[in-house]
Structure 1
Amino acid sequence: MSELATLARPYAAAVFKRAKETDATAKWSQSLAFMSAVLENEDISAVVDNPKVGKDRLLALILDICQEHLNEENENFLKLLVHNNRLGLLPSIVKIFEAYKAEDEGYVEVDVLTAYALSKEAKQNFAVTLEKTLGKKIHMNVTLDKSLIGGFLVRAGDRVIDGSIRGRLQHMQKALQ
């Protein structure tokens, strides 16, 4: 995984730099997400992975699917990825681009796993607490995970906060061994 990030980082940095220069970070974000979603489709993925499909045919197919969602610079970027056999890096490029965008805009993407659904009020209180803890504005994505038994697990970039019953049980198990 880190190898993919290492390969994707220069592409993401270049795209982010260009997006900032043209004041189009939101448009690039949408276009990259759309291209990535297209490539996640099973049928398209099979075509991308098929060595019998030439670069020109592959590029024509993807451009045809994405035509209404891409501008000229987006198309040129897609051509570059296809030409350099780096189309598989697109999900990593999107993730790194979004991290650069979040850093630039002063917020952090936070994934929260909870054992039970949070009420609207609990979600707001939790968001305020996380903002104080992390020292930044947050965009919080909440997902239910019954395997946590109780509590929460927060992932914000490289930082993980494990306040789950499952995590506490694992910690106790290690301590007892």
Structure 2
Amino acid sequence: MSELKTLARPYAEAVFEQGREAGTIEQWSRMLEFLALAMKDEELAWAAVNPKVEKGAFERLLLDIGKGYLDREGENFVKLLVHNNRITLVDPIRDLFEQYRTEHEGYAEVQVVSAYPLAEDDRAALTAALEKKLGKKIRLDARHNLALIGGIVIQAGDKVIDGSVKGQLERLAKRLKA
């Protein structure tokens, strides 16, 4: 996964910088969201990597699908990605772009996975603690996963805090094997 982010980073940085300079960050966000959603289609994703599908034909197909969703800059970006065999990187490009966007806007995106749904007062307390710790306004994406058994996993950018029972058991098992 980190290799994909490494490959996607220059594209995400260029698109973000272009959007920042032109004042079109919101528009780029929508275009990248559209492209990421389009590439989740199994047949389109298959065509993107199939060597029997001509690049020009695939590019025209994607641009036709994007009519009304992509402006001229977005169409040029699609052409660049298809030409460089990087259209499959749209999802990580979008993720990095959104990360740059939230940083630019003074926010931090934080994903929280807990064993059970968080109560509203717990969400508020966690958000306040994270705002104090990170020095930014927080956009909290809270989900739950019963497989964690108990506890919580917090991810803010590259930082991960695993306070789940499952994570603790996995770390204990590794120490016992050593």
Unaligned stretches of 5+ in structure 2? none
User: What count of residue pairs does the alignment treat as equivalent?
Assistant: 177
Q: Which stretch has the larger CA shift, 107-116 or 131-140?
A: 131-140
Partners of 2:45 and 2:88 within 8 A in 1: no
Q: Which residue of 2 aligns with 1:71?
A: 71
One-letter amino acid of the structure 1 residue matched with residue 69 of structure 2:
H
Q: Match of 1:101, SS?
A: helix
Q: Which residue of 2 aligns with 1:158?
A: 158
Q: Which runs of 4+ in 1 moved over 3 A?
A: 170-177
One-letter amino acid of the structure 2 residue matched with residue 102 of structure 1:
T
In 1, Cα distance between the equivalents of 2:72 and 2:64? 13
Deviations 1:89-108 (A, max 9, x none): 21121121112112111111
In 2, Cα distance between the equivalents of 1:162 and 1:109? 17
Q: Which stretch has the larger CA shift, 6-15 or 31-40?
A: 6-15
In 2, Cα distance between the equivalents of 1:121 and 1:114? 15
Q: Which residue of 1 aligns with 2:81?
A: 81
Query: Percent of counterpart pairs with the same letter?
Result: 46
Q: Which residue of 2 aligns with 1:12?
A: 12
TM alignment of 1:81-120, pairs within 5 A: 81-120=81-120
TM alignment of 1:18-37, pairs within 5 A: 18-37=18-37
Q: Which residue of 1 aligns with 2:61?
A: 61
One-letter amino acid of the structure 1 residue matched with residue 147 of structure 2:
S
Unaligned stretches of 5+ in structure 1? none
Cα distance 1:135–1:55, how it changes in 2: closer, same or farther (>3 A)?
same
How far off its partner does 1:3 sit? 2.7
Q: Match of 1:4, SS?
A: helix
How far off its partner does 1:82 sit? 0.8
How far off its partner does 1:174 sit? 4.5
